[in-house]
Amino acid sequence: MKLILINAPPYAGKDTAATTIQRHYGGQLPIILERFSMPLKRAFAGLMNLECDPLGRVEPWERRKEAIIPQLGVSYRQWQISFSEDFIKPVCGEDCFGRLLLNRIEGFSKTGTVFVIPDCGFQIEIDTLIREIPHSDILLIRVERPGTEWDSREPVNVPSSIAKLIIFNARSLVEFEDSIISLTKNWITQ
């Protein structure tokens, strides 16, 4: 099992990077997109009586994260942040989403699987994973894009024993996707 952790501010291209990796390498390797936030997305879907797809999308709100939800008076993004920071973490612990994700990926037994996690924004969640997964099996990708700013998430740090890449998303979609593929090729296929 390998992990690709993607860290970036909102709208920098985390999901695009993750789906590019899945689309490009998915024919060669089992690539699974996972999220620390999956329990939040499922809770929201249940609250609103909506479906949550395997990628964690709760439509129609996923595409309109800043739009106010009339029934709740807050946006989808605000709801997720508040539910996480004001309820789940105080009750279950700051590292609960890391523990939940670790449990989900450890329960997957297929050899050679690459888990791509595009919502790595809290150090404590990353630390939970890197204590349990061999460092040689982890790649941290930081996506940087002009004009994006951090929200409740933060830039994360990993030990020097973990591979790191910085990918700039400042040009066209095709150029961004090409850089993701060319920069991850050696690590994924080794």
pLDDT in tens, 138-189: 999 999 999 998 887 899 999 999 999 999 998 899 999 999 999 999 898 8
- Structure pTM? 0.89
How many Å apart are CA 119 and CA 18, to the nearest integer? 10
Task: Pull the structure tokens for residue 59.
Answer: 């439509």
CA distance 86 to 73: 17
Interatomic CA distance for residues 64 and 47, integer angstroms: 17
Phi, psi at 57, each rounded to 5°: -85, 130
| Residue ranges, the chain, pLDDT below 50 | none
DSSP β-ladder status, 68-69 and 138-144: unpaired
Task: Report the pLDDT value the prediction gives residue 148, as an integer from 0 to 100.
Answer: 92
Q: What is the pLDDT of residue 110?
A: 64
Task: Give the C-alpha separation, 44 to 29, whole Å.
Answer: 31
Give the integer Cα–Cα distance in Å for 55 and 63: 13
Q: Note the pLDDT of residue 86.
A: 95
Per domain, the residue ranges of the chain are 2-189
Instruction: Give the end-to-end CA distance of the chain in Å, rounded to a whole number.
Output: 12
pLDDT at 147: 92
CATH code for 2-189?
Answer: 3.40.50.300
